[in-house]
Structure 1
Amino acid sequence: MTTPRVLHGRILTATGWVRGNIEFDQRVRRIRATHDDADGGDGPLILPGFIDLHVHGGAGVDLMQGGDVARTVARTHARHGTTALLGTTMTAHEDDIVQALHGLADAIAIRTPDMARVLGVHLEGPYISLERLGAQPPLAIEATMAQVRRLHAVAPIRVLTLAPEVGQHLALIPQLVALGIRVQLGHSAGSYEDGVAALQAGASGFTHLFNGMTGLDHYRPGIAAAALAHAEYAELIPDLQHVHPGAIRTALRAIPRLYCVTDATAATGMPDGEYALGSQRVHKCLGCVRLGTGSLAGSALTMDQALRNLVSLGLDLADASDRLSRYPADYLDLHDRGRLQAEAWADLVVLDPQLQVQRVFVEGDEIALA
């Protein structure tokens, strides 16, 4: 039997902060409060590992390449505290999406000790609006259940982005939900009414809130307005480039379980230069990723930087942590991830007082940071 590891510090448990010890193997076995200051103080900060539900790439590779690149991406993000993620596709022809899903299926089936857990797929396109492509190529199509089932059979789709105003998408939402897929609204030119109707049909989230969707005009409110008025969950990119801090604060007040994603591309963890994003080329410069037209095209964000950005906006650390761990886990109905409590998976990130990553554990395996 494996001897449990023991870490001491300030631990963010499912019920609040505890100064003490956390014992774990693959799962958390015990959290014990202690007043032992023999280590010279409160020790490091121990948080639940981050869960990123929107990841396209990292370390110079893009998930649409297929093959074993998903493992490279999962290793890269694990070094920044991400312990679980969804591999995210781009709008493309079906054969190209299938190629990406085959690569993801292998990484989903078997996690090696040096990588984050790949929980499944976020299918971001091709079921989007040609009017709100963002950085997606102009290959959008109307969804059919036959095609979704074919793709779902290759690798499990956990989240699917669609534009609710396109074709018969509204009628498909209950069928998608019945497959166990979370439907998100995004890359949409729809109205507020389209958004509300989609939520009533069973949609449950919004893809990179504010980006790639109609906004908050007070005469003609759009999809973002439907999110602010009605959503329980929505994802947002907190790189402070995609969304103004004032809009982030607005969303925080309006959406109870707003959670954060990176929308990370191949440029994540890499120097300035040119990288792939699906079939397109993007350019990283000064931390920002753009198409040749100058439009934002995903990000180079990591989840540890997302945490620091949220804290810089005034969120307390526990609230910021919830938006990177607990809420995305809850969104996927995962009750043994995203929180530190007995019998949860031992997914931990250890931070110093400046919120820099010191150690990461995925299901009890320590990740080499160098």
Structure 2
Amino acid sequence: MKITNVKIVTPYKEFTGTIEVESGKIKRVYEGKDRGEDMEGLIAVPGFVDVHTHGIGGYDFTSWRSVDEFLGNLLKMREIYVKYGVTTFLPTTVTLPKEDLAEACKAVGEIEDPSIAGLHLEGPFISEKHAGAQDVRYIRSPDMTEVRRCVELSKNKLRTVTVAPEKGLEFVSALVGMGIHVSIGHTDADYETATKAFLLGADRTTHIFNAMRPFHHRDPGVILASINYSPYIEIIPDFIHVDKELVKFLVKSVGRERVVGVTDSIMAAGLSDGEYTLGKVEITVKEGRALTKEGKLAGSTLTMDKAFANLAKLTGLYDAVMMTSYNPAKALGLTDRGALLPGKNADIVLLDDKLRVVKVYKNGEEIG
């Protein structure tokens, strides 16, 4: 298969050219028009990689009554994500009772699909003070026995754990030692504690500026520690969680190579205002804002195509591709995706001039 006469955005340059696909992989990427599917006027970018998402289209990773229902929900979520250009995602939990969390881990272990690149536990090992929309009743102290059980039940698919490092730096070290990516978030850590966590191997910050000790010039906290030391920094570019000028400032300050755009989306993403849930917490969506009954932001209604468009308008197409495909894939060690380069999976999204999704290919097969 060849896609030709299309604007191609690679990690190195943008040009009008051709993408040749063979056996589900990108074989060649080159300038100029060739024989093939003529996609004049469209833009080719890599499939989006969302490493922090709870749900979409009425389906929620952690709102289910049985394992069978959960599996059906997760497969339906996968189908809906594709419509927004997402070809790889990490289903993300919220803080849950121990047995419910174990069932979520077990269910992920039963699905063999490279689109579902593993599991992200956003809790339960977080700060009560900065729980955000998470249910404080189920927050608990670091427990390696529970983590090892999750690893076993998920068949080694536990990729990321969000941790409040003030609950125990030895826990950070233990997770890193198991090959798990530690993301610092939902935390009241001061600058010194957060810095130590990154130096111990924590390699990401969970939605910076949100659900963490605020920055103060005499108490810079986890925010400055993240800017100084975190290899990758998540941000939610819906311009609700973080003002667009601050998003622009972050990218300029730390560089496009370290910023990871995420949706933190809940089941209301892609739907209208109304009443929803996030795990066991009731959520109201009004004018696109997802709020608890106490008025706290509760995830987002952002979809990845909109996240990409927002970032592209701020920083350009090249940087947006870095932040929504290349960086998140690299942060998880997924070397087979995230860029339109030879040898990578042929996960390709075609956008129109308004950056709306027109076609989606997974391993070279059109699926959306």
> What is the percentage of aligned positions where both structures have the same residue?
35
Could you tell me how far apart the structure 2 residues matched to 1:229 and 1:51 are? 25
The aligned counterpart of 1:20 is 17
What is the one-letter code of the residue matched to 2:248? Answer: R
Q: Does 1:68 align with 2:68?
A: no
The aligned counterpart of 2:249 is 250
Q: Does 1:110 align with 2:113?
A: yes
Q: Does 1:163 align with 2:160?
A: no
Could you tell me how far apart the structure 1 residues matched to 2:106 and 2:2 are? 35
Q: Does 1:307 align with 2:299?
A: no
User: Are the aligned partners of 2:3 and 2:36 in contact in 1 as well (CA < 8 Å)?
Assistant: no
- What do residues 25-68 of structure 1 show as CA deviations (whole Å, max 9, x unaligned)? 41112223215699999531000111000010111111112232
Name the SS of the counterpart of 1:309 in structure 2.
helix
The aligned counterpart of 1:285 is 286
Instruction: After superposing the two structures, state which structure 1 stretch, 124-133 or 176-185, moved more.
Output: 176-185
Could you tell me how far apart the structure 1 residues matched to 2:274 and 2:182 are? 34
- Structure 2 gap ranges (5+): 65-69
What is the one-letter code of the residue matched to 1:79? Answer: K
The aligned counterpart of 2:273 is 272
User: Are the aligned partners of 1:58 and 1:269 in contact in 2 as well (CA < 8 Å)?
Assistant: yes
- What do residues 76-99 of structure 1 show as CA deviations (whole Å, max 9, x unaligned)? 111100110101001011111122
Among 66, 89, 95, the residue aligned to 1:91:
95
Name the SS of the counterpart of 1:265 in structure 2.
coil
TM, length-normalised to structure 2: 0.92
The aligned counterpart of 1:114 is none
Cα distance change of structure 1 residues 197 and 30 upon mapping to structure 2, 3 Å threshold? same
User: Are the aligned partners of 2:19 and 2:30 in contact in 1 as well (CA < 8 Å)?
Assistant: yes
Could you tell me how far apart the structure 1 residues matched to 2:132 and 2:39 are? 48
Shift of 1:144: 1.7
What is the one-letter code of the residue matched to 2:189? Answer: G
Could you tell me how far apart the structure 1 residues matched to 2:327 and 2:175 are? 22
The aligned counterpart of 2:67 is none
What is the one-letter code of the residue matched to 2:130? Answer: R
Instruction: After superposing the two structures, state which structure 1 stretch, 350-359 or 13-22, moved more.
Output: 13-22
Among 51, 56, 77, the residue aligned to 2:81:
77
Could you tell me how far apart the structure 1 residues matched to 2:39 and 2:102 are? 52
Shift of 1:339: 0.4
The aligned counterpart of 1:195 is 194
Shift of 1:249: 2.2
Q: Does 1:11 align with 2:8?
A: yes
- What do residues 228-283 of structure 1 show as CA deviations (whole Å, max 9, x unaligned)? 22223110100000011222122212323111000010101222111120011111
After TM superposition, the structure 1 = structure 2 runs for residues 1-370 of structure 1, keeping only pairs within 5 Å, are 4-24=1-21, 25-35=23-33, 42-64=40-62, 65=64, 66-107=70-111, 109-110=112-113, 117-138=115-136, 139-155=138-154, 156-166=157-167, 169-256=168-255, 257-313=258-314, 315-368=315-368
User: Are the aligned partners of 1:231 and 1:255 in contact in 2 as well (CA < 8 Å)?
Assistant: no
Name the SS of the counterpart of 1:134 in structure 2.
coil
User: Are the aligned partners of 1:234 and 1:255 in contact in 2 as well (CA < 8 Å)?
Assistant: no
Could you tell me how far apart the structure 1 residues matched to 2:103 and 2:37 are? 51
Cα distance change of structure 1 residues 40 and 78 upon mapping to structure 2, 3 Å threshold? closer
Shift of 1:200: 1.1
Instruction: After superposing the two structures, state which structure 1 stretch, 326-335 or 120-129, moved more.
Output: 326-335
- Structure 1 gap ranges (5+): 112-116
Shift of 1:294: 1.5
Name the SS of the counterpart of 1:130 in structure 2.
coil
What is the one-letter code of the residue matched to 1:174? Answer: S
Name the SS of the counterpart of 2:117 in structure 1.
strand
